[in-house]
Amino acid sequence: MPPAPTMRLYLADDHRLDAGARVVAVRDRSIAFVHADSDGVVWHVSPSSPPASSVDRPARLIVDGERRRVLTRYHTGLHVLNTIALRDYGGWITGVQIGVDYSRIDFKLEGLSAAVGAELEDKVNAVLERDHDVSLRTHSTARARSV
Ligand SMILES: [Zn+2]
């Protein structure tokens, strides 16, 4: 029987950087990051394989706050870029990669040129320079798939 679905604390408080937990299962490290499986269980990968005796023992989860801050800034910038690319140029996302040192977003965009790229960059920077407040909203997976 799979473990019960994990409480996603980051949905309730996206600034939370640590939490207590209890180990509900241990499996081979086959993934390289936090990953939710098809049963809704969020697996956390540790640098070393925890012993099977860890099950049902307490654990402490700690988020790297500086890494989180950098990823959040990239994430927000990519949302601004995505919004303007779609609104002004009909550009639909075909891929995205967010990292600490480099992030990118791919679009299906007709008529892309150096001039359009420069215009898009100017528009994105103009929005970012206004330093808007950013808020977080979450939607159900069903709603997200219906859009
Ligand atoms: Zn997002």
Considering the domain boundaries, does residue 19 fall inside one?
yes
Rounded distance between C-alpha atoms, residue 10 and residue 6, angstroms? 11
Considering the domain boundaries, does residue 139 fall inside one?
no
Domain total of the chain: 2
Considering the domain boundaries, does residue 116 fall inside one?
yes
pLDDT tens digits for the chain (147 residues)?
555 566 777 778 888 899 888 887 777 654 344 556 667 677 777 777 778 788 888 888 888 999 999 999 999 999 999 999 999 999 999 999 999 999 999 999 998 899 999 999 999 999 999 999 988 777 887 887 887
Considering the domain boundaries, does residue 3 fall inside one?
no
Pair 75, 128 in one domain: yes
Interval between CA 139 and ligand 1 midpoint (Å): 11
Helix (H, G, I), strand (E, B) or coil at 28: coil
Considering the domain boundaries, does residue 2 fall inside one?
no
Interval between CA 75 and ligand 1 midpoint (Å): 6
Interval between CA 102 and ligand 1 midpoint (Å): 16
Interval between CA 105 and ligand 1 midpoint (Å): 12
- pTM for this structure? 0.73
CA distances from 42 to 21, 110, 143 (A): 12, 38, 21
Considering the domain boundaries, does residue 142 fall inside one?
no
> Are 124 and 81 contacting, i.e. CB atoms less than 8 angstroms apart?
yes
Interval between CA 79 and ligand 1 midpoint (Å): 6
> Are 58 and 21 contacting, i.e. CB atoms less than 8 angstroms apart?
yes
Interval between CA 112 and ligand 1 midpoint (Å): 24
pLDDT of residue 1: 56
Considering the domain boundaries, does residue 58 fall inside one?
yes
Pair 34, 72 in one domain: no
Considering the domain boundaries, does residue 147 fall inside one?
no
Interval between CA 137 and ligand 1 midpoint (Å): 10
Interval between CA 57 and ligand 1 midpoint (Å): 33
Interval between CA 130 and ligand 1 midpoint (Å): 20
Cβ neighbours of residue 29 under 8 Å, at least 6 residues apart? 45, 46, 49
Range of the domain at 57: 9-63
Pair 119, 71 in one domain: yes
pLDDT of residue 48: 75
